[in-house]
Amino acid sequence: MSFREKSDWLSLISLGLMGIYFTEVARGLLGGSHPGGPYYFWLFWVLVGVLVVIQVVTHVVLAIRSPKDAQTPVDERERLIHLRALPLAYFVLLVGAFLTIGTMHMGFSTWQFAHCILFVLWIAELLRYGMRLYYHRTV
């Protein structure tokens, strides 16, 4: 497995941690309460901090374990993988953004609107990394 494929795996898995936050938000919404306040604020920022630490530490460890592979420039195959992974992910982002705009007309609060946007961004990034991994195996 190449350095960039390992990097994509680590990014996908660490980004998946944000699922904890969205699960908590969904549980609050489905429970009939209005999820907001300091708990969700701190949960979000703690998870973002953990995500950043995991990304930095694991990429440093990967680079130390294979320094030559980490320093090689992006070749044509990897450039093609990155280009092929973008259209589906950003189509989902575009559709999700327009659907989220529609939530303003459904009576969603500003807090709910912001979380819809965050959720769409998160799904699009998960899809982008997932497509990159798929293309690493098929291209």
What is the residue-averaged pLDDT of the chain?
A: 91
% of the chain surpassing 90 pLDDT: 63
Please answer whether residues 12 and 51 qualify as being in contact, where contact means their C-beta atoms are separated by less than 8 angstroms.
Answer: no
* Residue 61 banded pLDDT, cuts 50, 70, 90: very high
Contacts within 8 Å (CB) and 24+ apart, 26-29: 29/112
Give mean pLDDT, residues 21-49: 85
Percentage of the chain lying above the pLDDT 70 cut: 99
Domain range for 86:
3-138
pLDDT band, very low/low/confident/very high, at 38 (cuts 50, 70, 90): confident
Report the SS3 class of residue 71.
helix
Give the predicted TM-score (pTM) of the model.
0.88
What's the pLDDT band for 37 if we cut at 50, 70, 90? confident
Provide the 3-class DSSP secondary structure of residue 31. Answer: coil
Range from 45-49, 83-87, 108-112, 131-135 carrying the lowest mean pLDDT: 108-112
Check pLDDT > 80 for residue 109: yes
> What is residue 40's predicted lDDT score, i.e. its pLDDT?
86
Quick check: 55 and 14 in contact, CB under 8 A? yes
Looking at the 3D structure of the chain, how many domains does it have? 1
